[in-house]
Structures are given as C-alpha cells and as structure tokens.
Amino acid sequence: MNAEELDRLLGKYYNGESTEEEERALRDHFKNGGVSADYEAENVIFGYYSEAGEVPEPSESFESGIMSEIDNISTREKSRKFRKYILPYLSAAAGMLILAGSWYFFVHSTDSGDTFKDPKIAYAETMKILMNVSTRLNRGTQSLEPVGKISEMTARSFKSISRSAGIIDNSLKNLENIQKAIELRNFPSVKNLNK
C-alpha cells in the first residue's frame, strides 16, 4: 500500500467514515510490518488490534443500560436545577414567614397588667396562694420525718455503745489496778496460781 492510499484510509478511519474492509486492510498492512517511522503511533494502535483479536459484540442490554444512565443523568440535572433555582426562593419565603410571625407575636402579645383592681382582693388572693405553697411544703417535709427518726435512733445507738464501751474500759482499768496491787504486795501472781 502506497503512502497516499495509507493517508487516505487513515483519514477516513479517524473521521469514523471507514468501512470494515478498509479497516481490515489497515490492520493487515500494519500487521505485515515494513511501515515507515512516520506511522509509528498507528503501528502501535493497529498492532494492538491484531494482538487483541476480534472485538466482541456488545450484549443486548448494553444499549438499554446506556439509555438508562442517560436518563439518570438528565434526572440529576433536573434535581440540580431545582436546587439551584427553587431553593433560594424557598429559603427567602421561609425567612419572610419567620419575620411575619415574629412581628405578629410582638405586636399582639398581651401585656401582663394588674388582674385585680382592689388591693384587698389582691392581698387575699396572694395569701391564699402562699398558704397553698406552705401546705404543700409542710406535706413534703412530713414525708422526711422517718429519715429524721432513723438518724435519731442511730445517735441513740451510738450513745449506748459509747456508754457500754466506757463501762468496759473502767472495768479493765480496775482490773489493772488490782493486778498492780497484787504484784506490789508480793502475793503470788495470777500466773503462778494457774500453774
């Protein structure tokens, strides 16, 4: 194949206009070798084709898979457009709603004024509420009385234990004094009597 024919076929190949016969002729030409250094890139490309063998046909679901991916991309684009254009308006509307609600709350809020015109009635109502609070507090402290009794009983128990310990301590001191007196008078010691 001469250089002009080779350039024409390569031009058709790169433009996607070549037929299967022309592509087979290009593969055969580069497969046989003897190609000039100007076509080194094409030699590598067509060398790969000859080594790889026949390119398998795509499966039947290949086209439907591509179409579904295209549909997914278009759906994502619509979602992005929605976020890009609609969400700022929704955010502004939410902000306006918050401002309007705040204004309504502050304008129409009721001021707490005096509920009683007569001071005597107000005083009587205050005393009634304070008595109710006092009664509830007293009821709460009454439930704590058993805890107070427990601590009182604990204190009494410690006093009786301390009293008993004091009696035992005094008795031991008396025994020590008696033992010292026996040792001083040269009486036989208790140790000698036990033997």
Report pLDDT for 88: 85
Distances (CA, A) of 57 to 4, 18, 46: 32, 18, 19
Pair of tokens at residue 72: 């997914």
Report pLDDT for 98: 94
Report pLDDT for 155: 82
Closest CA to 23 of 15, 103, 124: 15
Residues 156, 31: Cα–Cα separation, whole Å:
114
Report pLDDT for 53: 63
Report pLDDT for 94: 92
- Per-residue pLDDT tens, the chain, 195 aa: give them: 677 888 888 888 888 888 888 888 888 887 777 677 777 788 777 777 766 666 677 788 888 888 888 888 888 888 787 778 888 888 899 999 999 989 888 887 766 566 778 888 888 888 999 999 988 888 877 777 777 788 888 888 888 888 888 888 888 888 888 888 888 876 554 555 544
Distances (CA, A) of 157 to 148, 162, 163, 166: 14, 8, 10, 14
Report pLDDT for 110: 64
Report pLDDT for 113: 62
Please give, one letter per residue, the 3-state secondary structure of the chain. Answer: CCHHHHHHHHHHHHHCCCCHHHHHHHHHHHHHCCCCHHHHHHHHHHHHHHHHCCCCCCCCCHHHHHHHHHHHHHHHHHHHHHHHHHHHHHHHHHHHHHHHHHHHHHHHCCCCCCCCCCHHHHHHHHHHHHHHHHHHHHHHHHCCHHHHHHHHHHHHHHHHHHHHHHHHHHHHHHHHHHHHHHHHCCCCCHHHHHC
Report pLDDT for 131: 92
The b/e string for 55-89 (b: 16+ C-beta within 10 A; e otherwise) is eeeeeeeeeeeeeeeeeeeeeeeeeeeeeeeeeee
Report pLDDT for 105: 85
Over the stretch 112-163, which tens digit does the pLDDT of each residue have? 566 778 888 888 888 999 999 988 888 877 777 777 788 888 888 888 888 8
Pair of tokens at residue 58: 């795509």
